[in-house]
Structure 1
């Protein structure tokens, strides 16, 4: 917790969050959990927080000048190390659970299969190159892929694990990023243009969670896998919404996801996952359709501030 002296200075220097400061400082895990997963996925270490602190506070002093009094500097220094301490603790737990050292987060994996999913997406199946067991993964997690670019610089990107997490392999599905008035995605294009069976890639342990959307059936990677899994469930059916429907999914609905044309049972149990604005809008639709609030379970893709948002 912040000391009373530092809390008073922070309230005075940052009025926009001053009124919510007590809630913020008593719930750092809500705000920082996803940052910790991202840091662990790229091998951030304790020592790097000291380096960030040095240059961040030098920049603050350079930009704000005399406004950074000793009292202000001390208060914000305390805030920084409060947040850093929370992240360091969470990241230490994540590294321990993943059974990796933060200074050695990378492992070589061999490509055992490549499958073209759409014209702009391919699945890459990998197995640990050293023959040792694959680290445990949970549904929805991602791995960092570390590649060396033609100019010699290493780049990192995160890709969701698109296979069941229980076996000794990993499958990632890479979609080509085509720039619109900006450059094409460097790593996605490199992987799709060059990676073949027998190659090796460098991966991190699995971390985090994910949500995803596609605009058309032709762009929808792993669509056949979803149908196969739904068919294996008794009395289950799938329903898709696409901005650009196609003949591949004749029962798909056009446009953004909506309940207007869905016969939804009043006693349905609903599970939502996505960005907060999407889930807030869809939750309102569910309530209007007669679904009880207690039957709606959610997971936020992004900082989980729903409970702290009085408008939710």
Structure 2
């Protein structure tokens, strides 16, 4: 918890820091990468630095943590920390990098705030930083200890590559050496390292979708403006070897009898496939309502797999919304006023951020408890919703 000395200072300065951090963090990254260019090789996404998403995510996490400490002095925001810790673990982040982040972040804070960055203010925010850092380090150590191997990445060989709807490549891997395999929980993701045109390694995260035991399978949607997905689509071929991380992610399936609503858009089907397969394997009799939105039926990735899994569940049904064509159940964007969501259902969402915001707003506005609405988001989490991602 915050010390009595730091609390009033954080209360007084949090609005200012929240306002300034979007300006501070770009300078922080500039300084850190200038001193440590090696961190861009295999650790940070260069694309997220260019778009500004990573600085925004850092700002959100620090401010959210400080705000939580002020409002809940005897606890930490476990869902926020867990999401960050799993992402860090998927990148192989080690404890000794936290001082590096501190050094360059607080240099940027001091430069931006100028005289307002008094020793007392810096000391108070240093306390916030290390409270958050130590909580993350503890979580990450637990995650690493739970893996079958102490190696953050291991080589995997491509055994199959096929295209599906919506410019999506479905890729299957098998182990390329004897590194022990960590079992994945339904809904988790792995990082894949891809060497880009200038030779550096760029990591990206992809949800694991149903595959045979001892293999990994992912679905990669093409982003024509991206740095990594075009290379995966154009250059990755059967026989190639890539480094994959152990599986991580905290939006996993737990055994419960409450109804489950799975709402997805586009490539957001991937975690839903993993959850559906787990339900099939458990011979679940839960009520499951699968909702999917897409441009049209032909752009719906892995549609046949999703339909086949739903057909194997005795109390599951599926509804679709397509912006184009008349072959869906509904026309246009997903409208949950057309769906009878059980009052005790867990609602799980995955898709682009505008879709997540719109669907969550509809669910919560209908009176459904916000704590029963969960989400998975691809890339830096700019949302940082509260709640525990257990379905």
Answer whether TM exceeds 0.5 for this pair: yes
Q: 1:191 matched to which residue of 2?
A: 232
**1:173 aligned residue (219, 227, 237):** 219
Q: Structure 2 CA distance, aligned partners of 1:167 and 1:253? A: 37
Matched, 1:271 2:349: no
Q: Which residue of 2 aligns with 1:72?
A: 121
Contact 2:166 2:300 in 1 (8 A): no
Name the counterpart of 1:204: 245
Partner of 2:312: 232
Once the two structures are superposed, the pairs formed by residues 301-312 of structure 1 within 5 Å of their partners are 301=376, 303-305=384-386
Partner SS state of residue 96, structure 2: helix
- Alpha-carbon offset, residue 148 of structure 1: 0.8
TM-score, normalised to structure 1, is 0.83
Report how far residue 226 of structure 1 moved.
0.5
Point out the structure with max Rg over C-alpha.
1
Q: In structure 2, what is the Cα distance between the partners aligned to 1:204 and 1:157?
A: 10
CA RMSD of aligned residues (A): 2.7
Task: Please say if 1:3 is aligned against 2:51.
Answer: no
Identify, as 1 or 2, the structure richer in helix.
2
Post-superposition shift, 1:19? 7.6
| CA–CA separation in structure 2 for the residues paired with 1:19 and 1:141 | 29
SS in 1 for 2:162: strand
CA 1:73–1:260: 2 relative to 1, 3 Å: closer
User: For residue 222 of structure 1, what is the aligned residue in structure 2?
Assistant: 302
Is structure 2 residue 112 aligned with structure 1 residue 63?
Answer: yes
Deviation (angstroms), 1:30 = 2.9
Query: Is 1:29–1:86's contact at 8 Å kept on the other side of the alignment?
Result: no
CA distance in 2, matches of 1:15, 1:152: 41
Deviations 1:68-118 (A, max 9, x none): 2111111111111011011111111111122343xx411100111112113
Partner SS, residue 197 of structure 1:
coil
Instruction: Decide whether the 8 Å contact of 1:145 with 1:203 is kept in 2.
Output: yes
Contact 1:43 1:105 (8 Å CA) reproduced:
yes
Does 2:186 align with 1:139? yes
Give 2:131's aligned residue.
82
**Corresponding position: 1:29 with 2:78:** yes
Unaligned regions of 5+ residues in structure 2, if any? Answer: 17-62, 252-262, 267-293, 350-355, 377-382
CA distance in 1, matches of 2:314, 2:348: 23
The superposition leaves residues 245-273 of structure 1 with CA deviations (integer Å, 9 ceiling, x where unpaired) of x46xx2431122224444x38x6753311
Matched with 1:181 is none
Q: Which residue of 2 aligns with 1:281?
A: 362
The reply on whether 1:129 has 2:176 as its aligned counterpart is: yes
Contact 1:110 1:129 (8 Å CA) reproduced: yes
TM superposition shift of 1:284: 3.1
Distance 2:72 2:85 in 1: 17
**Secondary structure of residue in 1 paired with 2:317:** coil
Which ranges of structure 1 fall in alignment gaps of 5 or more residues?
A: 179-183, 288-292, 308-312
* Per-residue Cα deviation, 1:177-226 (whole angstroms, up to 9, x for no partner): 02xxxxx1111110110111111111111111578512222222111101
CA distance in 1, matches of 2:242, 2:5: 50
Match of 1:105 in 2: 152
Are the equivalent residues in 2 in contact too, given 1:242–1:254 (CA < 8 A)? Answer: yes
Contact 2:321 2:328 in 1 (8 A): no
Residue equivalent to 1:290: none
Equivalents in 1 of 2:237, 2:168: separation in Å? 14
CA distance in 2, matches of 1:240, 1:50: 48
Matched-pair contact (CA < 8 Å) for 1:112–1:125: yes
Q: Distance in 1 between matches of 2:179 and 2:130?
A: 38
